[in-house]
């Protein structure tokens, strides 16, 4: 039996869909079970036999974490401690999602799993603390670091761009932050593969789609595909700007590319971010939501 924590989020909704399609035995929860409260976790699980806990829950408001450090650490760190202790007590494994924001972004060669973390904002610090709890408590864990996540089931950069591109004739997008976009469906597929195939050794792995880009290049790709698919109808001037044009409470790493040699050498396919974006924007789930324009606006104006 698998317990999926955070099934209503962007990654969690994709995971739940795949779990249903696979026929795997699982239970799922979201905010109705406070995973930062060990008593609530034990009450929810009861006498169920759990083989895996997949933690897709997180406090992902990067700027909000600066003003609400307590919530960031409670959800991103203390809750992970509870899940790791629960898994250990029940002889289960834990799959936990972490982030590129545990790095400071100064290494332009990209970051491997063995590079020393040095977060520059509260969000990154809280996620790093969660990693530490998982490693210290439970040997049978997978920590999967990912970056720039987008998908059909939540607020993200792709939907934000489509909304603003549809309303404005000119927009500004940050061009001096680089990383790798990650399609949530690809990450969900990887997680299910990990626990079903059992061919990866326990430990920490980086996973995002292949290649790298700036937020500006990501925006241009979204615009080009939107025009090609007929979702966008008019010419828009996309202007590259420095991060300084968008003062934010939380600092962002300038270069947070995750190197994926370790997972590639394990036989996992990593497809290019542009191919993944194309599949997403042609998907039925995307087309259903495209008109909504829900998203985030941290790196655009």
Tokens standing for residue 96:
């936990």
Q: Is 123 a catalytic residue?
A: yes
Instruction: Give the integer Cα–Cα distance in Å for 29 and 38.
Output: 15
DSSP run (H or E) holding 219:
helix 215-229
CA 17 vs. chain centroid, Å, equals: 17
**Residue 139: CB atoms within 10 Å:** 11
| Cα 143 to Cα 146: distance, rounded to the nearest angstrom | 10
Q: Which of 59, 101, 111, 123 is catalytic?
A: 123
Residues 6+ apart with CB under 8 A from 193: 268
Q: Are 166 and 222 in contact (CB under 8 A)?
A: no
DSSP designation for 300: B
Cα torsion 35, 31, 286, 239: sign:
negative
Specify the 3-state DSSP secondary structure of 237. Answer: strand
Dist. CA 174–CA 146, nearest whole Å:
20
Judged by DSSP in three states, 75 sits in helix
Bridge-based pairing state of the strands 52-55 and 2-5: parallel
Q: Which residues are part of the catalytic machinery?
A: 123
């Amino acid at each position: 039996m698998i317990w999926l924590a955070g099934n209503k989020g962007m990654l969690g909704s994709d995971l739940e869909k795949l779990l249903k399609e696979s026929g795997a035995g699982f239970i799922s929860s979201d905010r109705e079970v406070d995973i930062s409260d060990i008593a609530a976790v034990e009450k929810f699980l009861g006498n169920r036999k759990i083989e895996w806990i997949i933690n897709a829950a997180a406090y992902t408001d990067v700027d909000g974490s600066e003003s609400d450090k307590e919530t960031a650490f409670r959800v991103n760190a203390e809750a992970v401690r509870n899940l790791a202790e629960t898994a250990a007590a029940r002889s289960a494994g834990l799959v936990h999602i972490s982030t590129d924001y545990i790095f400071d972004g100064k290494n332009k060669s990209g970051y491997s799993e063995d590079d020393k973390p040095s977060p520059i904002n509260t969000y990154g610090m809280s996620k790093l603390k969660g990693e530490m709890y998982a490693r210290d408590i439970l040997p049978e864990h997978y920590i999967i670091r990912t970056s720039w996540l987008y998908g059909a089931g939540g607020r993200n950069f792709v939907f934000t761009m489509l909304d603003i591109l549809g309303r404005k004739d000119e927009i500004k997008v940050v061009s001096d932050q680089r990383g790798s976009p990650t399609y949530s469906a690809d990450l969900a597929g990887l997680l299910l593969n990990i626990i079903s195939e059992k061919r990866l050794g326990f430990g920490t792995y980086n996973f995002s789609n292949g290649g790298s880009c700036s937020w500006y290049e990501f925006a241009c790709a979204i615009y080009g595909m939107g025009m090609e698919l007929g979702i966008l109808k008019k010419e828009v001037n996309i202007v590259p700007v420095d991060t300084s044009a968008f003062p934010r409470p939380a600092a962002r790493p300038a270069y947070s590319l995750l190197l994926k040699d370790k997972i590639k050498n394990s036989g996992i396919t990593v497809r290019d971010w542009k191919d993944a974006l194309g599949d997403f924007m042609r998907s039925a789930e995307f087309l259903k939501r495209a008109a909504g324009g829900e998203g985030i606006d941290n790196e655009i104006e």
